[in-house]
């Protein structure tokens, strides 16, 4: 956790096509890389970081869209250039004139999020960042089939007579409240530790 910083970025993270909207508001250091932001999004949303991710954002200098994530040696085969998110600072891309990015998590289920910079603020004296200040609705379970699969799951859970009900409840471990979220329960991992753990495999 970072305490001694001068400036922070307030973001709203919204899960596209979710109704009611599943969203989080987080405040992170201006010194963050895109990897650090990725970890903060994962932790505040409630994802488990089991899958790949990718940011898409306009380069404020060239006005062209760039992709920022974890480069792969096969990217060249698909004529793609993915910038290394651990080396790219958020302050070089996000600003008041360029406030939005697309964040995709899990290329199979394709959870698409809108990341919107709401404010650039002075850091509060003695405050610890990152922090989650608000949000609504529970995070969907991992590997439930994307937004379409998630709302099918909720439909099944709403009807104990549904033939899939018992199977779904067992898969969820007994219960799931789609409306529950408490920002005070969000715990942020150290992004450096998460990065080192990823590179051990």
Mean pLDDT for the stretch of residues 121-126: 92
Domain ranges of the chain: 7-139+181-198, 140-178
Predicted local confidence at residue 44, as pLDDT: 98
In percent, the amount of the chain with pLDDT more than 90 equals 87
Compute the distance between CA of residue 51 and CA of residue 38 in angstroms, rounded to an integer. Answer: 12
Q: CB-based contacts of 40: which residues, under 8 Å, 6+ apart?
A: 26, 28, 32, 130, 188, 191
Mean pLDDT for the stretch of residues 93-101: 97
Predicted local confidence at residue 72, as pLDDT: 84
Is-contact 83 71, C-beta < 8 A? yes
Instruction: Assign 187 a pLDDT band (cuts: 50, 70, 90).
Output: very high
Q: Which residue has the higher pLDDT, 66 or 4?
A: 66
Is-contact 124 2, C-beta < 8 A? no
The CATH number corresponding to 7-139+181-198 among 3.40.605.10, 2.10.109.10, 3.10.290.30, 3.40.1800.10 equals 3.10.290.30
Mean pLDDT for the stretch of residues 133-151: 97
- 50: which 2 tokens? 């089991």
Instruction: Assign 2 a pLDDT band (cuts: 50, 70, 90).
Output: low
């Amino acid at each position: 956790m970072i305490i001694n910083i001068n400036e922070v970025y307030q973001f709203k993270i919204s899960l596209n096509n979710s109704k009611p909207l599943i969203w989080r508001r987080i405040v992170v250091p201006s010194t963050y890389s895109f990897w650090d932001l990725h970890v903060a999004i994962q932790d505040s949303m409630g994802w488990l970081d089991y899958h790949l991710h990718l940011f898409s954002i306009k380069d404020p200098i060239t006005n062209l869209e760039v992709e920022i994530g974890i480069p792969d040696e096969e990217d060249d085969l698909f004529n793609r250039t993915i910038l290394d998110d651990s080396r790219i600072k958020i302050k070089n891309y996000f600003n008041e004139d360029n406030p939005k990015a697309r964040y995709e998590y899990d290329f199979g289920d394709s959870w698409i999020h809108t990341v919107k910079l709401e404010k650039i603020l002075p850091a509060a004296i003695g405050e610890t960042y990152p922090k989650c200040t608000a949000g609504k609705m529970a995070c969907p379970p991992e590997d439930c089939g994307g937004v379409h699969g998630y709302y099918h799951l909720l439909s099944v859970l709403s009807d104990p007579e549904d033939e899939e009900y018992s199977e779904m409840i067992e898969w969820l471990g007994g219960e799931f409240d789609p409306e529950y979220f408490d920002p005070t329960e969000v715990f942020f991992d150290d992004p450096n530790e998460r990065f080192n753990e990823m590179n051990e495999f």
